[in-house]
Amino acid sequence: MNRSQEAIRTYRTGLRIFPENSKAYNNLGNIYSGQGDFDQAQTAYEQAVFWQSDYALAYNNLGDLLAYKKRDLKSAAQQFGNALQYQPDFPAALFNLGNIRLAEKNEAQAFALFQQALRVDPNYVPALGNLSVLFIGRGENEAARKHLNHLLQIAPGDQRARDLLERLDQSEQK
């Protein structure tokens, strides 16, 4: 039995004793998702928010699963909205909802959500990266450069940020 299977068995045993343990359901969802069992993960996250209706992290995890694994953007957006209803300053939920708005071609709303995530956490690397890309698309290269340099101070090994800076440098040399 591998560690994930052992953890699932342990959580299942604990949930038989304390079935309303929302954190255990959330953790179980994370394990199932990591194994690629997205239906079981979804069920576990849904149980987490059933037992604790204000559990922002579980809503975000459910939204993440729906958006990135099941490609159900409408349902995912609803779950990120639920997370933000209970925790309005949740950078990951703001970022994830911003990604959905980008996929829907609503760049202005995506931009605002990424900025909001950075107001909550100025060092939130995913939002710094996506906002930089949007700045580049708008031709606001200095703003993009500022965000990319900040990102690289936090995450020096971020290859995407390095590549974007290199592209900016090359475009400015032409």
pLDDT of residue 172: 78
Please compute the mean of the pLDDT values over residues 135-142 and round it to a whole number.
Answer: 95
* Token pair listed for 134: 């949007």
Name which of 11-25, 58-72, 136-150, 152-166 the model is least confident about: 11-25
Domain that holds residue 54: 1-87
The count of structural domains within the chain is: 1
CATH number, domain of 40, equals: 1.25.40.10
pLDDT at residue 14 tops 90: no
User: Residue 31 falls within a domain, yes or no?
Assistant: yes
pLDDT of residue 7: 81
Amino acid identity for residue 21 in this structure: N
User: Residue 124 falls within a domain, yes or no?
Assistant: no
pLDDT at residue 164 tops 80: yes
User: Residue 115 falls within a domain, yes or no?
Assistant: no
User: Residue 27 falls within a domain, yes or no?
Assistant: yes
pLDDT at residue 119 tops 70: yes
User: Residue 47 falls within a domain, yes or no?
Assistant: yes
User: Residue 110 falls within a domain, yes or no?
Assistant: no
- Closest residue by Cα to residue 29 from 46, 9, 50, 5: 46
Question: For residues 99 and 6, which has the higher predicted lDDT (pLDDT)?
Answer: 99
User: Residue 63 falls within a domain, yes or no?
Assistant: yes
Q: Say what the alpha-carbon torsion angle 153, 158, 163, 164 is, to the nearest 10 degrees.
A: -60
pLDDT of residue 103: 96
Q: Residue 66 and residue 121: Cα distance in Å, rounded?
A: 24
**DSSP states of 35-63:** HT-HHHHHHHHHHHHHH-TT-HHHHHHHH
Residue 174 binned pLDDT confidence (cut-offs 50, 70, 90): low
User: Residue 112 falls within a domain, yes or no?
Assistant: no
Average pLDDT over the chain, rounded to whole?
95
- Has this prediction a pTM greater than 0.75? yes
Name which of 2-16, 130-144, 160-174 the model is least confident about: 2-16
Please compute the mean of the pLDDT values over residues 92-118 and round it to a whole number.
Answer: 97
Please compute the mean of the pLDDT values over residues 104-109 and round it to a whole number.
Answer: 97
